[in-house]
Amino acid sequence: MIFQKINRDDPEKVFIVVKNSWSTATITSGMAVQWDFTADVDGVGVTQPTARSTNSGIATAGICVESILTGDYGLVQVYGYHPSVIMRCSTDGPAGGLGAVLAVNAAGGAWAVETFFTSTNSAAGTVMVQPCGFLLSIFSSWTTSRVKMFVKAL
């Protein structure tokens, strides 16, 4: 883990070093990533989020802070303020107000966070959704946008 030096001008942040194990694209800043539990399975690889029914909502690694080419290593933020996180709302989810709890998207396949209410039941059983932070901007669009977020993905 990399802990930012404490100072008064810049909010504290915590980062981890990860490997982009997603084989088809670069991960860019603001994208939500999950631990790769199907290909690399090494505790370092991250990939595109899968559906909550597959990962039980708890595989979130954090928010990418720099471009990471396929197979390369880079930084993912696990704690602190991030000014430009990719967000979208699910069609049945609420728009986000200040302080709205965020989690990796329900359907998977998008590098985004979204608001959610509670755990859900699916054919795979109860899905316990792990929050990965909260919203620091008002979000009222149903399309993908960039928002301010406080990341809590430890």
Among residues of the chain, what percentage have pLDDT more than 90? 34
Residue 129 CB coordination number (10 Å): 19
The whole-number average pLDDT for the span 145-152 is 91
Q: Per residue in 21-74, pLDDT tens? A: 988 889 999 999 999 988 888 889 999 888 877 776 678 899 999 999 999 999
What's residue 113's pLDDT? 77
SS3 assignment, position 47: strand
What's residue 51's pLDDT? 80
What's residue 59's pLDDT? 85
Q: Which residue has the tokens 């597959």?
A: 54
Assigned token pair, 139: 């979000």
Residue 95 CB coordination number (10 Å): 13
Q: Is the pLDDT of residue 4 over 60?
A: yes
Average pLDDT, whole number, for the chain? Answer: 82
Which pTM was predicted?
A: 0.85
Give the CA dihedral 140, 33, 153, 147, nearest 10 degrees: -30
